[in-house]
Structure 1
Amino acid sequence: MDLDTELRGRKVFVTGSDGFIGSHVVDALIARGADVTALCVYNSFGSRGWLDESKTFAAAERDGQVRTVLGDVRDAEHMRTAIAGHDIVLHLAALIAIPYSYVAPRSYVETNVIGTLNVLEAARAAGVSRMVHTSTSEVYGTPDSVPIREDHALKGQSPYSASKIAADKMAESYARSFDLPVVTLRPFNTFGPRQSARAVIPTVLSQMLAGVQNIRLGALSPQRDFTFATDTAEGFLRAAVAQVGNGEVIQLGTGRTVSIGELVDLCKAVTGSNATIETDEARIRPANSEVEILLSDPQRAKEKLGWEPAVGLEEGLKQTADWLEGRVDAETALRYHT
């Protein structure tokens, strides 16, 4: 698959462009010559989130290759107007923090479910050739068996995961009911530069880089399959142009899992820290809500997209630590970001 040929000049609309994964996707699209419209959530500061720090984005904006739209996926009329005239829609906008979903579940339904419905309707009205909807490995809950395959049963173990299950099913229903060319990508624990401290890897690395000697964490036993951000972005680009069936679900994961305790040791090796771990009860999920293991089977992504991860966990941790260096201080690093 030649992504330069497939994407050059294509009109691509990206929701959630200001976020962690979305900003990497926008950078990757620009590098392939796509004509990009980046939807960033409206705010009074005119901020485009992480795109404001991207030199790739700044150069493309000057050249007219990319433009920004401020808005909100919860606004159906605005989505219909903004998406009109585009050929491809990559839908990454979502509320994603699991702890916050315990206290504000309605906001997750409004953004993740109704917002996805609005984007599906807008993509349908625009007659797009492909919409890529973003799922999450959290929809599986603690799995019945590993590695997890795409047909594994879905289990809502948090309001966040329940909202994403509902969004996934909306995408599935539009493929079945209206023959909408929508594909669902299901990334496993993406990490890398630009990720907020609400996620475990920047939490650990930030504390270590700030010289904290007692690292505050929640449970250490859960196991996760970590995928580097540029690899996840590559998966989105491939899904945008691959010859796959409407409604197809494809995981993006490495097929390798490590526990949070093991992850801490890897972060120590990267940073040279000798810190110890201190359990912070506020960071522990409710007992029946914790997902104990997430381990993907990457075979379908390889077969359908020609996708394989290129950046290993250790190298990805080093790149993330390098990016965080100079951005952290002890007081901020110790703060629990929900």
Structure 2
Amino acid sequence: MLTNASILITGGTGSFGHAFIPLTLAKYKPKRLVIFSRDEMKQWEMAKQFRDDNRVRFFIGDVRDKERLARALNGIDYVVHAAATKIVPTAEYNPFECVKTNVNGAMNVIDTCIDAGVKRVIALSTDKASSPANLYGATKLASDKLFIAGNSYSGAADTRFAVVRYGNVMGSRGSVIPFFMSLKNKGVLPITDARMTRFMITLEQGVELVWTAFDDTIGGEIYVKKIPSMGIMDIAKSVAPDAETDIIGIRPGEKLHEQMIGVEDALHTYEYEDYFKILPAIHNWSEDPVRIGDGRKVPPDFVYSSDKNTDWMSPEELELWIEKNRQKML
């Protein structure tokens, strides 16, 4: 599907973009891959990595700027929407800015993609959008709903919108593993709560889920990858086995456990071999046999959260992953 296509990724200089771009170039050999983002220095640094590949293009712009988005989408077939204000405390202290990017920006992406005749759009979501406890999660829930409803707006343009949702990305900027690694030599790791659990997904798995969504979507689905969980104390022990831990208390808006599918969504959720799909409740799309495919409906009380997961990553498995990916996190 993506072979010889023109693809644009918003917020493409982030951790996801750094994984998506080389993997997609290698697997699908697209005609064009456009990185749309507002940080010129990050684009300048990323451009050095792809200086010999004329398929990779860079476009300075902000999803808040509808006219600039419209210009960037000229001739684009597929879009990955990864741009967002993501840091929980930043969103809490700058709520207007968070809404402008995560909600207004989402509306701009939807409108301009329909106008440009883009074929399919995959928006990246977060575990924090499921039963949100902070502004970031609330804006991403709103964004998810907008992209789902976008399928009703596309009309004759036939632009399809879907969402990919995942939690803690191992080794990404701002994630706990590189944070703990940076403090390893100090001998003390700050822990918000010893009971805390997190989902563990690699960037490569996140990219593969986006590819799956592009290939599978009819429109309006939320894709959730099946991944293991891990306790925060085991993560700390894997990163710095000799370090002490200092319990500092949970931060405002922070969850004890990550949740990607709440009980409210169970009525519309189907299970597949490697992932779950939350089907849209609007227009009876959750009963559409084409969208359901070979999925199996989950129980009505189903919740997919990091503490109730049946799959757990061991400290030994994480240690092996860290050793293999250490250079990427330096």
TM-score for the superposition, normalised by structure 1: 0.76
CA distance in 2, matches of 1:322, 1:120: 37
Match of 1:189 among 149, 157, 168: 168
- For residues 48-91 of structure 1, the C-alpha deviation after alignment (integer angstroms, 9 at most, x for no partner) is 176256x4x3332xxx1111101111101100111121100111
Partner of 2:37: 40
| 1:170 has 2:146 as partner | yes
CA distance in 2, matches of 1:167, 1:251: 16
State the shift of 1:189 in Å: 1.4
Q: Which runs of 5+ in 2 are unaligned?
A: 262-269, 278-293, 295-312
Q: Which runs of 5+ in 1 are unaligned?
A: 1-5, 141-154, 328-338
State the shift of 1:290 in Å: 3.1
The change in CA–CA distance for 1:313 and 1:275 in structure 2 (over 3 A counts) is: closer
* Contact 2:225–2:274 under 8 Å retained in 1: no
State the shift of 1:317 in Å: 2.6
Partner of 1:294: 258
Deviating beyond 6 angstroms after TM superposition, the runs of 4 or more aligned structure 1 residues are 303-306
Partner of 1:267: 239
TM-score for the superposition, normalised by structure 2: 0.77
The change in CA–CA distance for 1:113 and 1:258 in structure 2 (over 3 A counts) is: same
Partner of 1:318: 323
State the shift of 1:127 in Å: 1.1
Q: Secondary structure at the match of 1:135?
A: strand
- For residues 278-318 of structure 1, the C-alpha deviation after alignment (integer angstroms, 9 at most, x for no partner) is 2345xx323xx332223668944736899xxxx96444333
- For residues 241-269 of structure 1, the C-alpha deviation after alignment (integer angstroms, 9 at most, x for no partner) is x1322111101241x2112112111223x
* Contact 2:169–2:175 under 8 Å retained in 1: no
Match of 1:277 among 241, 245, 248: 245
Match of 2:200 among 213, 226, 230: 226
* Contact 2:189–2:236 under 8 Å retained in 1: no
Partner of 2:181: 205
State the shift of 1:161 in Å: 0.3
The change in CA–CA distance for 1:97 and 1:301 in structure 2 (over 3 A counts) is: farther
Task: For 1:149-164, list aligned pairs within 5 A.
Answer: 155-164=131-140
Aligned residues: 281
* Contact 1:251–1:301 under 8 Å retained in 2: no
Partner of 1:249: 222
Partner of 1:94: 84
CA distance in 1, matches of 2:226, 2:52: 31
Q: What is the aligned-residue RMSD (CA, Å)? A: 2.6
CA distance in 2, matches of 1:304, 1:88: 23
Q: Percent identity?
A: 22
| 1:70 has 2:60 as partner | yes
Partner of 2:209: 235
CA distance in 1, matches of 2:56, 2:139: 31
Match of 1:20 among 15, 22, 26: 15
The change in CA–CA distance for 1:275 and 1:103 in structure 2 (over 3 A counts) is: same
The change in CA–CA distance for 1:229 and 1:303 in structure 2 (over 3 A counts) is: closer
Task: For 1:116-127, list aligned pairs within 5 A.
Answer: 116-127=106-117
The change in CA–CA distance for 1:163 and 1:20 in structure 2 (over 3 A counts) is: same
Q: Choose between structure 1 and 2: higher strand proportion.
A: 2
* Contact 1:191–1:228 under 8 Å retained in 2: yes
CA distance in 2, matches of 1:71, 1:39: 6
CA distance in 1, matches of 2:199, 2:125: 15
Q: Secondary structure at the match of 2:46?
A: helix
State the shift of 1:219 in Å: 2.3
Q: Secondary structure at the match of 1:36?
A: strand
The change in CA–CA distance for 1:99 and 1:129 in structure 2 (over 3 A counts) is: same
- For residues 28-64 of structure 1, the C-alpha deviation after alignment (integer angstroms, 9 at most, x for no partner) is 1211211201112144xx43176256x4x3332xxx1
Matched residue type, 2:107: L
Higher relative contact order (CA 8 A, sep 6+): 1
Partner of 1:150: none
